[in-house]
Amino acid sequence: MDAILNLQRINALVLVFLFCTLVLSYISIARRGGSLYVRRISGLNAIDEAVGRATELGKKVLYVPGIMGLDENQTIASLALLGHVARTTAQYNTDLDVPNKDPLTFAAARETVKEAYMEAGRPDLYREEMVHYVTYDQFAYTASVSGQMVREKPATNFLIGSFYAESLLLAETGQATGAIQIAGTAEIAQLPFFVCACDYTLIGEELYAAGAYLSKEPAQLGSIKGQDITKAIVGIYIVVATIGLAFGSELLRRLLTIE
Amino acid sequence: MQFLRLTIPLLLTAVAGLIPIIAFMWSTETRWIHATKDRLEVYMVIIAAFALLLGVVNVIQSNVKKIERRQKGWQYGAFLLAGLISMGAVGILSAARIGPFQGIGFLDDGTRTPFQYMAEYIFNPLQAAMFALLAFFMASAAFRAFRARNFEATILLVAAGIVMIGRIPLGETLLGGSPLLGEFTEWLMTWPNGAAQRGIMIGAALGAASLSLRVIVGIERSFLGIERNE
């Protein structure tokens, strides 16, 4: 057994199994028609309003999908949201602009937007230039997107995905141009900047849940429910383990440690 | 068509997603799984390099189109292409060591090659200028965030004031050399701030795991350009 499994990580394996079982069970329940309550996320409910504002003003919607590649979960979550935003801009006949830093994200974003316009029944409105590549350099990309914000003054900015030092530069520039801004990231250090400079911010897990929340597909919503139950179990375990550790429990300390 | 567009990508995603998880759980004695994981990481770098070429082609195409149509801001496109071509050309000539372009770093006598000169005196200062703007944006964002509009904003204002003063020598001087303010600042950052951050981190980690699971089992397909279950 020792030659196959890393026994020092057995606690992680148990947690993975528990998590997968819960998520897959809730997906199955949701597919069978069970009702699942998912709380309202104001940032996601504001998407239609934000795109509507751009339509009324006759200006474009700018969607920045973060600066990381497809190996980053936040980028995948961002693409799910991009699909919804693109469908909305297609329905409202509003211009959409998606500048990219990572080439793989660029390719995936282009497919996502193209598919969304087809799904919305408006393939005639889709243009290849809507999703374009800028550069692989972080600050050159920031300079380009900031310049675009100042020159073209988009009515709505979406800053959704993985951001680092450029988060405040982009969000403050967007704020200065008077755009309505919806941001979302799981980067802890960047969250305060977005909260300060944007109208709505998707914080951490809200970003990952965005695609499922907007798709309203039972299978996707079920996974959010499974995730919430795991979070409750982890929360209870943290409380029990903290009390146990205060009394010097060696077993709880070992259960909490992943080598 | 469905097989090529959907089934194969979903199968590849599931295999590529499961291998790192298995490698994490498996013993280091099971070498093939760790070797496969390492190989996958190398493939990712290769695919990204090819995709970068796609990106460069897109930059050239979209900017040439912009200049041809004299679209608004076409001058920026021309400037971008000039930068891309000059830096790219000097880079290629330097890599091939043609004429005065002998390498991309420093010469044997310690002088800079043209490529190094361009990177050090054009590219790096431009990057630094962008990064330096952050200080000004931080000041304007702080000014907006720290207005005491309600009870929560007032708590934020007081806490931020304490942390800012506590982290500079002025705080200690004001208290006649007492380290009390510095210690209180550390307490604020470690406990109340740390607890809130960990709450967000646990939620985000589970959210990321849930998304990964949706991707591996093929429920989440947006990264393939497919939104709904087909």
At residue B228, the pLDDT reads 57
The reply to whether A119 and A237 lie within a common domain is no
Q: Tell me which of B56, B66, B197, B206 to substitute to probe the interface with A (most A C-beta atoms closer than 10 Å).
A: B206
pLDDT greater than 60 at residue B229: no
Counted domains in chain A: 2
- pLDDT at position B6 is 84
Query: Chain A contact for B208, CB < 8 A?
Result: yes
User: What's the pLDDT score for residue A1?
Assistant: 60
Say which residue, A127 or B149, is predicted with more confidence.
Answer: A127
**In this structure, is residue A181 part of a structural domain?**
yes
Q: What is the CATH number of the domain that holds A107?
A: 3.40.50
Asked whether residue A2 is assigned to any structural domain, the reply reads no
Is residue A195 assigned to a domain? yes
Residues A20 and A115 in one domain: no
A19 and A132 both lie in a single domain: no
* Residues A233 and A175 both lie in one domain: no
The yes-or-no verdict on residue A258 having pLDDT over 80 is no
State residue B5's pLDDT score: 79
pLDDT for position B4: 80
| Same domain flag for A82 and A136 | yes
Shared domain for A17 and A124, answered yes or no, is: no
Minimal Cβ distance to A205: which of B44, B126, B207: B207
Looking at the structure, do residues A13 and A70 belong to the same domain, yes or no? no
On whether residue A1 sits in a domain, the answer given is: no
In this prediction, residue A33 carries a pLDDT of: 83
Q: What angle do CA B64, B67, B72 make, to 5 degrees?
A: 130
Within chain B, strands assigned E span: none
- With 0-12 / 13-18 / 19 or more C-beta atoms within 10 angstroms meaning exposed / middle / buried, residue A39 is exposed
pLDDT for B175 equals 83
List A182's β-bridge partners, or say none. Answer: A158, A200
Q: What distance in Å separates residue A134's CA from the closest CA in chain B?
A: 6
- Chain A residues with CB-CB distance to B229 below 8 A: 217, 219
Question: Tell me, what's the pLDDT at A254?
Answer: 78
**Whole-number percent of chain A with pLDDT over 70:** 99
| Contact assessment for residue A179 and residue A197, using Cβ atoms and an 8 Å cutoff | no
For residues A48-72, average pLDDT? 96
**What is the Cβ-side half-sphere exposure of residue B41, based on CA atoms within 13 angstroms?**
7
Report pLDDT for B18: 93
Q: Calculate mean pLDDT across residues A49-78.
A: 96
Residue A236 domain-assigned (yes or no): yes
Specify the DSSP element, H or E, that contains B162. helix B151-166
Domain co-membership, A207 together with A236: no
Residues A125 and A230 in one domain: no
Residues of B in contact with A230 (CB under 8 A): 206
Does the residue A17 lie in any domain? yes
pLDDT mean over B104-112: 90
Q: How far is A250 from chain B (nearest CA, A)?
A: 23
> What mean pLDDT do residues A175-199 have?
95
For residues A29 and A56, state if they share a domain. no
What pLDDT, on a 0 to 100 scale, did the predictor assign at position B219?
87
B:73-92 residues touching chain A, CB 8 A cutoff: 73, 76
Same domain, A242 and A153: no
Range of the structural domain that residue A152 is part of: 42-214
Is the pLDDT assigned to residue B230 strictly greater than 60?
Answer: no
Q: Both A135 and A239 in a single domain?
A: no
Residue A152 has pLDDT above 90, yes or no: yes
pTM score over 0.95: no
Pick the range with the lowest mean pLDDT from A127-131, B78-82, B108-112, B143-147: B143-147
pLDDT digits (tens, 9 = 90+) for A75-95: 999 999 999 999 999 999 999
C-alpha count within 13 angstroms, C-beta hemisphere, residue B71: 14
